[in-house]
Amino acid sequence: MQDIHHRIVVQRQADPLAARLAFTLESISEGFVLVDGNGVFSFVSDRATRLLQRSREELLGKVAWEVFADAVQQEAHLIYLRAMEIGEAAEFEFYFPPLAAWFDARAYPSQEGLAVYFRDVTERRIVQGRLRESNERFRIVARATADVIGDWDLVHSTLWWNDGMEAQFGYLPSELEPGRESWTNRIHPDDHDRVVHGIDAAVARRDEYWQEQYRFMRKDGRVLNVVDRGYLIFAESGEPIRFVGGMTDITQRRRGSASTISCTPRSASVRPRPSPSHSR
């Protein structure tokens, strides 16, 4: 006979704790797996089975890199090996070829192996890729146009200019303030309040389109007449987040119009010719 009373007491105390822990891991929105030092799955949450597209029977007790043989020497496998080697927690995003999906993961090494929380971020990566492509197209168009293009970030209060700011007005990017002062500080003083008030009111009203004509100061001190057009960009919540616009120099056009007007001959005043006198 052997006294196992203490062991039974400890076991009975541990069982409810293990049950609560398992319930907690099943309740979180992320996938969770435990793998030992040999890469064998010892725990797999229900969410993890859906993300990995495998049943528990296919995973528990199996070596991860045998189940997902296509992932060997891929990023996830190399990160696992490194985390086990250095014994430090790691946060990372990786592409998992067997599932053609992107995952955001956090790995925590322990004496038992590796605890990994992960979630599918494929859709977010696709959206980010499309956004990068869209921004790249915008940059190319902004470089190709003769206008001065500005992209005002309303959330972070920054203002980006294309190369036209230097070509048209002579200002190097390093000479410009990071915010909209790079624009407002160079509006002619006589036009400043009118223009700034107008654009602020348009943003407050959430007008999709704004246009104004005013005078803008070149770096060399010359004053140019410009027409400025801009469009508000809204977030899904309906809040305005960006204002993208373009300034066109119309100085020569206005001078040409003025010259045309000044050169137009006035209508000649015609005096009535006196009637000839008739001698009797």
Residues 242 and 189 reside in one and the same domain: yes
Q: What would you measure as the largest C-alpha separation in the chain, in angstroms?
A: 169
The average pLDDT across 22-50 equals 82
Is 111 inside a domain boundary? yes
Residues 174 and 204 reside in one and the same domain: yes
Which amino acid is present at 42? S
Q: Name the band, by pLDDT with cuts 50, 70 and 90, for residue 60.
A: very high
For 214, phi then psi, to 5°, come to -165, 180
Residues 102 and 162 reside in one and the same domain: no
The percentage of residues in the chain with a pLDDT greater than 70, rounded to a whole number, is 78
Q: Which pLDDT score, from 0 to 100, does residue 275 have?
A: 47
Residues 106 and 41 reside in one and the same domain: yes
Q: Which of 38-47, 102-111, 141-150, 167-176 has the lowest mean pLDDT?
A: 141-150
Over residues 196-255, the pLDDT tens digits come to: 999 999 999 999 999 999 999 999 999 999 999 999 999 888 899 999 999 999 998 876
Residue positions counted in the chain: 280
- Nearest to residue 182, comparing CAs of 149, 156, 159, 211? 159
The average pLDDT across 14-18 equals 55
Would the pLDDT of 262 be above 60? no
Is 137 inside a domain boundary? no
Residues 35 and 85 reside in one and the same domain: yes
Q: Name the band, by pLDDT with cuts 50, 70 and 90, for residue 133.
A: confident
The domain in which residue 110 lies consists of 21-124
Q: Name the band, by pLDDT with cuts 50, 70 and 90, for residue 62.
A: very high
Q: Quick one: CA dihedral 180, 221, 190, 253, positive or negative?
A: negative
| Residue whose structure tokens are 């956004």 | 131
Q: What does the block give as tokens for 121?
A: 């971020």
Is 271 inside a domain boundary? no
d(CA 83, CA 110): 10
Eight-class DSSP state of 98? G
Is 269 inside a domain boundary? no
Residues 114 and 156 reside in one and the same domain: no
Residues 161 and 71 reside in one and the same domain: no
Q: Which of 133-137, 206-210, 271-275 has the lowest mean pLDDT?
A: 271-275
Is 132 inside a domain boundary? no
Over residues 176-187, the pLDDT tens digits come to: 999 999 999 999
Is 167 inside a domain boundary? yes
Residues 32 and 102 reside in one and the same domain: yes
Domain boundary pick from 66, 94, 124:
124
Q: Name the band, by pLDDT with cuts 50, 70 and 90, for residue 27.
A: low
Residues 150 and 120 reside in one and the same domain: no
Q: Which of 32-46, 70-84, 217-231, 246-260 has the highest mean pLDDT?
A: 217-231
Residues 157 and 114 reside in one and the same domain: no
User: 98: domain CATH number?
Assistant: 3.30.450.20
Q: Name the band, by pLDDT with cuts 50, 70 and 90, for residue 271.
A: very low
d(CA 174, CA 170): 12
* Helices of type H across 148-229: 164-169, 181-184, 189-205
Reported in sequence order, the residue ranges of the chain that DSSP labels E, i.e. its strands, are 31-35, 41-44, 90-96, 101-110, 113-120, 148-153, 158-161, 209-217, 223-234, 240-249
Is 270 inside a domain boundary? no
Q: CB of 200 within 8 A of CB of 240? A: no
The average pLDDT across 121-149 equals 78
d(CA 227, CA 213): 4
Residues 29 and 84 reside in one and the same domain: yes
Pair type for strands 101-110 and 113-120: antiparallel
Residues 97 and 28 reside in one and the same domain: yes
Is 194 inside a domain boundary? yes
Count: domains in the chain: 2
Q: Which pLDDT score, from 0 to 100, does residue 129 have?
A: 82
